[in-house]
Chain A
Amino acid sequence: KAGVTQTPRYLIKTRGQQVTLSCSPISGHRSVSWYQQTPGQGLQFLFEYFSETQRNKGNFPGRFSGRQFSNSRSEMNVSTLELGDSALYLCASSQELAIPEQYFGPGTRLTVT
């Protein structure tokens, strides 16, 4: 099976712009979670989607949003980018509620200038 894929791998944006990141989960996995990784804050949970519904959301401002499509692919969007949004954004997929292991993609490295 192919692993979790994320596109793009690298992105450079300017303050005030918006960005959309994409994640394709492992085939058969219906849950997709997003995490932000920074040197200062470490790994922080953004949100989780299951069957196109957001089930859980971390403590991030409303500029961070996401969605999941019927094929389980997920996108996250960050509007009005700030310098502090520079981070590695990780997507993870899991199979179902009874199987909790999350498998991570390679991440998207976002740099905001």
Chain B
Amino acid sequence: AQTVTQSQPEMSVQEAETVTLSCTYDTSESNYYLFWYKQPPSRQMILVIRQEAYKQQNATENRFSVNFQKAAKSFSLKISDSQLGDTAMYFCAFMTHSFGNEKLTFGTGTRLTIIP
């Protein structure tokens, strides 16, 4: 079974600063996907970024980028030039790349607050 661990329950940063959220996972699979989802207060879950395990290049989406260290089973999210709208719960999630097993395993989340 896969597990996902987010060791930072809460974080806060000043607007325009850069913040990094940590995520580690445990799996015996060699081929899988990793995701970061954002859940703003009282709003729905939004996909932020995705990483395929077979790709060495780290994924980037505008101000969001990841540091994927496969050997260390680490998948951190960096948010640059943070904005007030980035305030949300952030969940790291894992999915195996195998037919019939497309379920997400989530971490416990990190509550990120951007301070004006």
Contacts and interface: CB of A to CB of B under 8 A. Distances in A.
* Interface size range of chain A in the complex: 20 to 34
Interface of A, secondary structure class, is strand
A22 interface: no
Nearest to A43: B106
Contacts, number: 50
Contacts of A35: 104
A94 to B, nearest CB: 7
Contact of A101 (B43, B47, B100, B106): B47
Given A31-B102, A33-B102, A102 B47 contact: yes
Nearest to A35: B104
A55 B100 contact: yes
A45 B96 CA distance: 14
A102 B103 CA distance: 9
A90 B103 contact: no
Given A35-B104, A101-B50, A106-B44, A42 B109 contact: yes
